């Protein structure tokens, strides 16, 4: 194909997903257009100005390992850093940071605007251009902008966030919009429906923002950052940051009483919002109504930045009428005199039913159309950024006519997330948890760089210096593991000694000068310790992963004839032919396809391999 | 794999009033039609037809059940004809090459592969066929009617609950859910282990036994051995090689049956060759073989079955136990059957090895339950030693996986649902 196109990749949206998608595609040499309603909003944090957290921290480390921007931006603009779950094992330890909202937004926007190869359009995408492919299916050919008209493109990445068909709610107030004060994208939602794509509604919400100067902090418990903050990015030189403190308060029975009495004024309880909200991040009215037996809920007062008076009360997401919000806030210790700078609200938006999504984040049968972030039913900046990065990479590969990057569940949290999305239509906004990752003991935040370095190297996502550092770290960790295996102390190897619950790497270093002489950093020592303590589990998981890879990763040729599979049920034949899964793993997840159906497909695939004279 | 057509005699072996041959697969209709004088009857309507075989015509009842609404989900044709083993064998042979003889359990396996039966149902069918004790019959019925599945599902839910407690401590900060420590889940884990032990105890005991074929050259002393072990002269014994022409079984220990058949005769022909062919067909159901070697003329006979032991006979005729070249590395017993010398160790061996105890569906269930319990035991140890909740959670996941294998399905994630049902989360 040599048709002229203005761009290789058009990214619609500039949030956490859009920014990573645009940067990754441009860094892979593509001509990228990034279409945003307001360029100043690139990388804006709609809700909590925090990055990371349990499981999300792992995602950010993986994004960083693949050359993404989120970790670097967080390190540059963070104002409080904490490592969570330090009292538990290394597999569930996750970094979290609070950022200066304004600084993060500005830094990310600057990085996108300054990226060679990216052209930013302050415009609204109102339609998609499609064409036919030689194979007969539709293929994306570009987007139509309200102002600039048609942009021809080989691929399009949709990262519409809460803007697609977005509506805002607070009490009886209701308005079209993607974020408070920003209009929504309704023409595009209609265009997607015209293309035959199925959309559904989800909701999320945000708390009111409080005026710092009207809060009585004196009586509240302080929550400081870690004394020795750990950076997110493997590429950050280290953190030199003056950290801010957060404060802890709680709702009272008076709060609950007031909320229960006015819950009927919430648009959720009036049935005006159809979309389902997240159970793990419920509105305060949901908490009060669903868990009536609780006499309090915790509230974290988090500064939104150094130079702002705005305080984010974490735990108080609400869409009650503004007057009710102000009244219930004042029943909370420390907030008796509080002034509200912005009121909380709920937002309901369109997302794609994700059974239309494929393992490379392409959408349905429309070749070259990708989607990432909340449009795929997820919640959270980290989930969005991770998908944006993968969608950007795959759009670039697609534009170049190369094979897609498919990350499996054993490789990364990114792989787990994408696989989960393909598997089921989310009934609530999808958030990452460590328990979703069955290979959790290996998929740690500490080794994300080592895990994903081969991918980063192959795709050219990291510069030589960064790759060299990962390589050197890999060698030091391996040398340390070899040393522990080969060195004995009191009749047992140092490795078996380190496996004991009461022995840590520092104790080994004190015991064996040769180990200390290997010169591992404290982080690397912790990594070696985790590898040793989890060794048995990791090995078992690797065997399981290998088995899965053989089956799941088995590619199904593009033109595979399901009609030629004897005894395949009519339902399975129809669904598989419609969906055209790329791998057997993806086929497994097509609803209505039974293990028996897959056995039949596998049998035909195996015969194909034998005929081709080699294994897949 | 499933594009070939299979056939088998579906009625019990031996002479009977009626014999049934079942054919399943894409070529089932064509294969049967080729043997009939008239076209096949309509689907699901029985018809009397004329079977042409061995140059003769024979009335047969023909049933056609087209897939997918058949037992196997494929086209199935049944022939009902007189139950003469030779006739049935001839018809089977005439169905080749369009159809091949089915492997044991292959019809049921196809029914499972085509989604006509769940794994547990399919196994229930097999278990009911295999059942030879009252306990096994009851257990097979429980299998088919879901009693075992229910018990396993209940255990699974209990383990999921424990995991929910553990995961809530791992996926959320102590501020969100409150700290989780081993005291919150260890007692529950111990209770689950007790229930699992109860379920395991309820399974029928491993069945000792099975059938063992005596293999040896003619006149090596197989029938004498059988008589001596069986405690009576059930088998005609003579010094003439080839005296035994039929296959006879004799119970020698709890559940262990020795099959005695004709011995190998070099250059066998006529009736002897027929007898050996019959023995080989029957030998297909034996779990293993015992090689019987004539101590005076030691030669090791060939067999395709796993060899459990070697018996060297006619010890009384020799001063020293003879050198036998080419023996496999298995226990050896030197005996004199008529005098009873050396028989007791052999009998004890047969009782202990159980004739290579046959694999039943219950063996599989027991293995998976044991696998689950081993993982739970390690989770308990991890909790007691403070190895970390993420390690205990990994073991619980393995236990769930083992239980899921009882159902033959992989693990759907239900843990988070339970977390959310119990805890108020989210800052």
Q: Which residues pair with residue A35 across a beta bridge?
A: A12, A121
| Same structural domain, B100 and B162 | no
Which range among A78-82, A290-294, A327-331 shows the weakest confidence by mean pLDDT? Answer: A290-294
pLDDT value of residue A615: 34
Label each residue of A363-391 as H, E or C: ECCCECEEECHHHHCECCHHHHHHHHHHH
| Same structural domain, B32 and B165 | no
Helix (H) or strand (E) holding A286: helix A284-290
Q: How confident is the model at residue B255 (pLDDT cuts 50, 70, 90)?
A: low
Give the separation between CA A479 and CA A485, rounded to whole angstroms.
10
Q: Say whether pLDDT at B2 is over 60.
A: no
Restricting to A residues 234-293, those with a Cβ less than 8 Å away from any Cβ of B are: 248, 278-282, 287, 290-291
- pLDDT digit string, tens, across residues A57-88: 999 999 999 999 999 999 999 999 999 998 88
CA distance B390 to chain A (A): 7
In a domain, B125, yes or no: no
Q: Say whether pLDDT at A616 is over 50.
A: no
| Same structural domain, B178 and B214 | no
Which range among A237-241, A277-281, A458-462, B265-269 shows the weakest confidence by mean pLDDT? Answer: B265-269
Above pLDDT 90, what percent of chain B? 19
Domain end point (choices B307, B323, B353): B353
DSSP-derived 3-state class of residue B156: helix
- pLDDT digit string, tens, across residues B110-149: 776 676 766 666 666 766 666 666 777 777 777 666 677 7
Q: How confident is the model at residue B240 (pLDDT cuts 50, 70, 90)?
A: low
In a domain, B118, yes or no: no
pLDDT value of residue B353: 65
Q: Do B426 and A298 touch (CB under 8 A)?
A: no
Q: How confident is the model at residue B45 (pLDDT cuts 50, 70, 90)?
A: confident
pLDDT value of residue A422: 86
Provide the CATH number for the domain formed by A209-347 in this structure: 2.40.30.260
pLDDT value of residue A367: 93
- Model ipTM value: 0.82
Does residue A572 contact residue A547 with C-beta atoms inside 8 Å? no
B175 inside 8 A of chain A by CB: yes
A88 inside 8 A of chain B by CB: yes
In a domain, B47, yes or no: yes
pLDDT value of residue A611: 43
Q: Point out the residue among A92, A297, A567 whose CB comes nearest to the CB of B114.
A: A567
| Same structural domain, B152 and B255 | no
Among chain B residues, the shortest Cα distance to A89 is held by B388
Does residue A207 contact residue A344 with C-beta atoms inside 8 Å? yes
pLDDT value of residue B328: 79
| Same structural domain, B185 and B226 | no
Q: Do A89 and B391 touch (CB under 8 A)?
A: yes
DSSP 8-state secondary structure symbol assigned to residue A136: S
Q: And the tokens for A245?
A: 């403190």
Domain count, chain B: 3
A440 inside 8 A of chain B by CB: yes
Q: Taking CB atoms and an 8 Å cutoff, what residues of chain A touch B170?
A: 54, 85, 88, 92, 434-435
Say which CATH number the domain at B411 has.
1.20.120.430
Q: Which residues pair with residue A32 across a beta bridge?
A: A9, A118
DSSP-derived 3-state class of residue B94: helix
| Same structural domain, B258 and B339 | yes
Domain end point (choices B353, B382, B406): B353
- pLDDT digit string, tens, across residues A551-588: 777 788 877 888 777 667 777 788 888 878 888 877 87
Provide the CATH number for the domain formed by A463-537 in this structure: 1.10.10.1800
A433 inside 8 A of chain B by CB: yes
Q: Say whether pLDDT at B274 is over 80.
A: no
pLDDT value of residue B410: 39
pLDDT value of residue B406: 72
B75 inside 8 A of chain A by CB: no
Look-up: residue for tokens 């990364």? A412
Is the pLDDT higher at B312 or at B104? B312
Average pLDDT, chain A: 90
DSSP 8-state secondary structure symbol assigned to residue A282: -
Torsion of CA A429, A232, A234, A442, to 10 degrees: -50
Restricting to B residues 112-131, those with a Cβ less than 8 Å away from any Cβ of A are: 112-115
| Same structural domain, B315 and B332 | yes
Residue range A348-376: average pLDDT? 94
Residue range A22-35: average pLDDT? 98
Restricting to A residues 282-311, those with a Cβ less than 8 Å away from any Cβ of B are: 282, 287, 290-291, 294, 297-300
pLDDT value of residue B297: 86
- Domain spans of chain A? 209-347, 463-537, 553-612
Q: And the tokens for A439?
A: 């290979």
Is the pLDDT higher at A5 or at A181? A181
DSSP 8-state secondary structure symbol assigned to residue A185: B
pLDDT value of residue B418: 38
Helix (H) or strand (E) holding A149: strand A149-158
Q: Do A441 and B390 touch (CB under 8 A)?
A: yes
Residue range B156-162: average pLDDT? 92
Look-up: residue for tokens 């383990």? B159
DSSP B224-288: HHHHHHHTS--S---SSTT---S-EEEEEETTEEEEE-PPB-TT--HHHHHHHHHHHHHHTT-SE
Average pLDDT, chain B: 78
Q: Say whether pLDDT at A603 is over 90.
A: no
* Residue B27 structural domain: 5-113
CA distance A276 to chain B (A): 15
Q: Taking CB atoms and an 8 Å cutoff, what residues of chain B touch A603?
A: 1-2
Q: And the tokens for B277?
A: 């062919």
B176 inside 8 A of chain A by CB: yes
Give the separation between CA B289 and CA B306, rounded to whole angstroms.
6
Residue range B231-253: average pLDDT? 67
Interface contacts (A, B; CB < 8 Å): 104
pLDDT value of residue A591: 66
Which CA distances in Å does A288 have to A262, A272, B334? 11, 20, 84
| Same structural domain, B167 and B294 | no
A596 inside 8 A of chain B by CB: yes
B393 inside 8 A of chain A by CB: yes
Q: Say whether pLDDT at A294 is over 60.
A: yes
Q: Residue B183: how many CB atoms within 10 A of its CB?
A: 8
Restricting to A residues 501-520, those with a Cβ less than 8 Å away from any Cβ of B are: 501
pLDDT value of residue B419: 36
Q: How confident is the model at residue B322 (pLDDT cuts 50, 70, 90)?
A: confident
| Same structural domain, B345 and B369 | no
Does residue A537 contact residue A441 with C-beta atoms inside 8 Å? yes
Restricting to A residues 27-46, those with a Cβ less than 8 Å away from any Cβ of B are: none
Q: Point out the residue among A55, A88, A595 whose CB comes nearest to the CB of B388.
A: A88
Q: Say whether pLDDT at A475 is over 50.
A: yes
CA distance B383 to chain A (A): 11
Q: Taking CB atoms and an 8 Å cutoff, what residues of chain B touch A421?
A: none
Among chain B residues, the shortest Cα distance to A436 is held by B413
Q: And the tokens for A4?
A: 């002229």
Look-up: residue for tokens 């709680």? A250
A85 inside 8 A of chain B by CB: yes
Judge if the upstream peptide bond of residue A169 is cis by omega within 30 degrees of 0: no
CA distance B77 to chain A (A): 17
Residue range B210-238: average pLDDT? 77
Residue range B34-47: average pLDDT? 88
DSSP-derived 3-state class of residue A95: strand
Which range among A135-144, A227-236, A517-526, B232-241 shows the weakest confidence by mean pLDDT? Answer: B232-241
Q: Say whether pLDDT at B417 is over 60.
A: no
Q: How confident is the model at residue B356 (pLDDT cuts 50, 70, 90)?
A: very low
pLDDT value of residue A497: 92
Give the separation between CA B68 and CA B70, rounded to whole angstroms.
6
Q: What is the CA angle B405-B408-B410, rounded to 5?
A: 75
Does residue B133 contact residue B57 with C-beta atoms inside 8 Å? no
| Same structural domain, B244 and B347 | yes
Q: Taking CB atoms and an 8 Å cutoff, what residues of chain B touch A609?
A: none
Q: Point out the residue among B74, B112, B409 whose CB comes nearest to the CB of A567.
A: B74
pLDDT value of residue B258: 81
Give the separation between CA B212 and CA B222, rounded to whole angstroms.
12
pLDDT value of residue B242: 62
Does residue A225 contact residue A52 with C-beta atoms inside 8 Å? no
φ, ψ for residue A33 (rounded to 5)? Answer: -110, 135
Q: Say whether pLDDT at B357 is over 60.
A: no
| Same structural domain, B337 and B238 | yes
Domain end point (choices B113, B134, B167): B113
pLDDT value of residue B425: 35
| Same structural domain, B312 and B330 | yes
CA distance B176 to chain A (A): 8
Q: How confident is the model at residue A233 (pLDDT cuts 50, 70, 90)?
A: very high
Among chain A residues, the shortest Cα distance to B75 is held by A567
CA distance B80 to chain A (A): 27
- pLDDT digit string, tens, across residues A403-447: 999 998 889 999 999 988 987 777 889 999 999 998 999 999 999
With left for phi above 0 and alpha for psi between -120 and 50, is residue B255 left, alpha or beta? Answer: left
CATH 1.10.10.10 fits A553-612, yes or no: no
Q: Do B415 and A297 touch (CB under 8 A)?
A: no
CA distance B128 to chain A (A): 23
Give the orientation angle of helix B106-113 with respect to helix A595-612, to 10 degrees: 100
Give the separation between CA B65 and CA B32, rounded to whole angstroms.
13
Burial track A370-403 (b if 16+ CB lie within 10 A, e otherwise): bbbbbbbbbbbbbbbbbbbbbbbbbbbbbbeeee
Helix (H) or strand (E) holding B290: strand B288-294
């Amino acid at each position: 194909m040599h048709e002229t196109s203005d761009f290789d990749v058009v990214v619609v949206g500039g949030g956490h997903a859009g920014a990573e998608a645009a940067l990754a595609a441009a860094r892979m040499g593509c001509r990228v257009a990034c279409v945003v309603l307001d360029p100043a909003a690139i990388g804006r944090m709609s809700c909590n100005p925090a990055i990371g957290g349990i499981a999300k921290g792992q995602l950010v480390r993986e994004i960083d390992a693949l050359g993404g921007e989120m970790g670097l931006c967080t390190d540059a603009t963070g104002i409080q850093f904490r490592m969570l779950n330090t009292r538990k094992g290394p597999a569930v330890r996750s970094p979290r940071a609070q950022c200066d909202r304004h600084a993060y937004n500005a830094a990310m926007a600057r990085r996108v605007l300054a990226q060679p190869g990216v052209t930013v359009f302050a415009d609204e995408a109102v339609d998609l251009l499609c064409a036919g492919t030689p194979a007969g299916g539709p293929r994306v050919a570009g987007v139509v902008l309200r102002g600039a008209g048609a942009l021809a493109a080989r691929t399009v990445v949709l990262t519409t966030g809460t803007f697609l068909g977005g509506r805002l709610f607070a009490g009886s107030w209701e308005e079209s919009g993607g974020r408070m004060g920003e209009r929504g994208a309704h023409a595009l939602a209609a265009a997607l429906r015209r293309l035959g794509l199925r959309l559904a509604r989800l909701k999320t919400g945000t708390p009111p923002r409080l005026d710092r100067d009207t809060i009585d902090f004196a009586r509240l418990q302080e929550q400081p950052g870690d004394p020795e903050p750990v950076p997110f990015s493997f590429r950050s030189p280290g953190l030199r940051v003056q950290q801010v403190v957060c404060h802890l308060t709680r709702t009272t029975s008076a709060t609950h009483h007031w909320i229960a009495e006015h819950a009927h004024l919430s648009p959720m309880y009036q049935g005006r919002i159809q979309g389902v909200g997240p159970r793990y991040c419920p509105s305060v009215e949901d908490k009060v109504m669903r868990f009536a037996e609780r006499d309090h809920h915790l509230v974290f007062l988090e500064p939104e930045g150094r130079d702002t008076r705005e305080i984010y009360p974490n735990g108080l997401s609400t869409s009650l009428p503004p007057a009710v919000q102000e009244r219930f806030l004042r029943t909370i210790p420390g907030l008796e005199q509080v002034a509200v700078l912005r009121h909380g609200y709920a937002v309901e938006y369109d997302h794609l039913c994700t059974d239309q999504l494929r393992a490379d984040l392409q959408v349905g049968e429309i070749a070259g159309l990708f989607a990432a972030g909340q449009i795929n039913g997820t919640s959270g900046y980290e989930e969005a950024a991770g998908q944006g990065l993968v969608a950007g990479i795959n759009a670039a590969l697609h534009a170049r006519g190369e094979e897609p990057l498919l990350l499996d569940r054993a490789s990364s949290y990114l792989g787990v997330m994408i696989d989960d999305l393909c598997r089921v239509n989310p009934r609530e906004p999808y958030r990452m948890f460590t328990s979703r990752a069955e290979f959790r003991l290996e998929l740690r935040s500490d080794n994300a760089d080592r895990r994903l370095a081969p991918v980063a190297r192959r795709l050219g996502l990291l510069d030589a210096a960064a790759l060299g550092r990962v390589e050197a770290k890999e060698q030091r960790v391996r040398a340390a593991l070899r040393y522990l295996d080969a060195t004995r102390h009191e009749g047992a190897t140092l490795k078996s000694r380190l496996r004991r619950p009461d022995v840590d790497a520092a104790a080994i270093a004190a015991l064996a000068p040769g180990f200390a002489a290997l010169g591992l950093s404290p982080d690397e020592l912790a990594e070696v310790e985790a590898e040793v303590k989890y060794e048995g589990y990791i090995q078992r998981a690797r065997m399981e992963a290998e088995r899965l890879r053989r089956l799941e990763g088995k590619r199904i040729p593009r033109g595979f004839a399901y009609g030629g599979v004897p005894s395949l049920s009519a339902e399975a034949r129809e669904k598989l032919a419609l969906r055209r899964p790329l791998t057997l793993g993806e086929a497994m997840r097509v609803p209505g396809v039974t293990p028996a159906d897959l056995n039949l497909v596998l049998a035909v695939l195996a015969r194909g391999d034998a005929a081709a004279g080699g294994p897949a | 794999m499933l594009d070939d057509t299979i056939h088998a005699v579906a009625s019990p072996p031996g002479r009977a009033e009626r014999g049934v041959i079942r054919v399943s697969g894409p070529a089932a209709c064509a294969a049967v039609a080729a043997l009939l004088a008239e076209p096949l009857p309509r689907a699901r309507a029985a018809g009397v037809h004329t079977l042409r075989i061995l140059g003769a015509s024979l009335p047969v009842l023909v049933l056609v059940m087209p897939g997918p609404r058949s037992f196997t989900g494929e086209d199935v044709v049944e022939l009902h004809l007189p139950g003469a083993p030779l006739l049935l064998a001839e018809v089977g042979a005439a169905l080749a090459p369009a159809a091949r003889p089915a492997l044991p359990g292959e019809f049921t396996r196809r029914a499972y592969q085509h989604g006509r039966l769940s794994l547990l149902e399919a196994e229930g069918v097999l278990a009911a066929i295999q059942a030879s004790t009252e306990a096994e019959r009851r257990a097979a019925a429980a299998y088919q009617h879901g009693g075992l599945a229910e018990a396993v599902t209940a255990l699974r839910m209990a383990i999921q609950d424990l995991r929910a407690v553990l995961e809530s401590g791992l996926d959320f900060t102590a501020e969100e859910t409150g700290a989780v420590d081993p005291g919150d889940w260890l007692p529950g884990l111990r209770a689950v282990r007790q229930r699992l032990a109860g379920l395991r105890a309820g399974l029928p005991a491993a069945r000792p036994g099975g059938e063992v074929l005596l293999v040896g050259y003619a006149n090596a002393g197989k029938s004498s051995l059988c008589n001596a072990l069986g405690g009576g002269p059930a088998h005609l014994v003579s010094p003439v090689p080839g005296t035994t022409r039929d296959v006879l079984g004799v119970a020698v220990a709890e559940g262990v049956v020795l099959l005695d058949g004709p011995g190998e005769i070099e250059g066998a022909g006529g009736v002897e060759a027929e007898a050996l062919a019959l023995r080989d067909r029957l030998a297909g159901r034996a779990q293993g073989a015992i090689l019987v070697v004539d101590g005076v003329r030691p030669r090791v006979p060939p067999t395709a079955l796993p060899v459990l032991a070697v018996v060297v006979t006619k010890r009384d005729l020799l001063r020293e136990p003879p050198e036998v070249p080419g023996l496999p590395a298995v226990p050896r017993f030197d005996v004199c059957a008529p005098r009873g010398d050396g028989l007791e160790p052999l009998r004890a061996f047969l009782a202990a090895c159980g004739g290579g105890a046959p694999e039943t569906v219950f063996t599989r269930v027991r293995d998976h339950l044991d696998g689950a319990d081993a993982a739970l035991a390690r989770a308990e140890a991890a909790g007691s030693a403070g190895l970390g909740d993420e390690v205990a959670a990994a073991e619980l996941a393995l236990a769930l996986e083992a239980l899921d294998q009882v159902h033959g399905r992989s693990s759907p994630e239900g843990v988070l649902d339970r977390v959310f049902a119990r805890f108020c989360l989210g800052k």
